[in-house]
Amino acid sequence: MKIEINNEVFELHPTGALYWESKKTVIISDLHLGKVTHFRKHGIAIPQSAVSENFRKITEVLDYFVPEKIIFLGDLFHSTKNAEWDLFENWVLDNNYETYLITGNHDIIDESHYKKIGVVVVEMLEINTFFFTHHPTEKENLFNFSGHIHPGIILRGLGLQSLKLRCFFRQHNQMILPAFGEFTGKHLLKPNLDHIIYAIAGNEVILINKKYITIHNI
């Protein structure tokens, strides 16, 4: 789905990525690489295939948009370096994108490791009338793109049926991106009439009529 913000066109992708057309930039939040390996190491039964799924989804997005730049809105890695770092390092070196990481609360890997592979690490990024952060942040006269919250919704039918979906959560001068990574969960938010919800349903992004939804913790 394409939308317009501050006279710029952005495309919402069903993986949870966002594409800024004029800047040829892909924006991704809360990938949490290393989380699957971390959990498996501690005996939690998560399929090993989830590791490759994260990289498959990134590749899908980049092949579709063919960007020049990538901005990760924090929590790129879940914790300390593990085997998934080697996969990420190889992926970065095999591709030729201008890559930025905006540090999140989970990003504890030393900046020097990113610098060695050409990833620029910053606390925030300001481009034109847009302000990119990990935590939702207000700044006068700027539209904020952020992550951290992992927004999700529950669609409720006339009966007892319900459907749980990730979403892009937009409010005044701000959009919170869904978590991109596998096994990242979703978090409760409470929409009001000023909020706009773009839900991810399979291979589509759809604008939701607010009377049918509850933002819900999953």
Q: The domain containing residue 151 runs over which residues?
A: 2-215
pLDDT of residue 49: 63
pLDDT of residue 127: 96
pLDDT of residue 67: 96
List of residues 6+ apart from 158 with CB closer than 8 A: none
Low-confidence ranges of the chain (pLDDT < 70): 35-50, 79-80, 156-162, 182-191, 209-218
What DSSP state is assigned to residue 77?
A: B
- Write down the pTM of the prediction: 0.86
C-alpha torsion 34→180→44→37, nearest 10: -20
pLDDT of residue 50: 64
The percent of residues above 90 in pLDDT, for the chain, comes to: 51
pLDDT of residue 113: 92
pLDDT of residue 35: 62
Q: Based on the structure, what is the number of domains in the chain?
A: 1
Q: Can you read off the two tokens belonging to residue 129? A: 């009338």
Number of H helices, E strands in the chain: 4, 16
Phi, psi of 56 (to 5 degrees): -65, -40
The domain spanning residue 32 has which CATH number? 3.60.21
Return the half-sphere exposure (C-beta side, CA atoms, 13 A cut-off) of residue 183. Answer: 22
pLDDT in tens, 54-104: 888 999 999 999 999 999 998 888 766 777 888 888 888 888 899 999 998
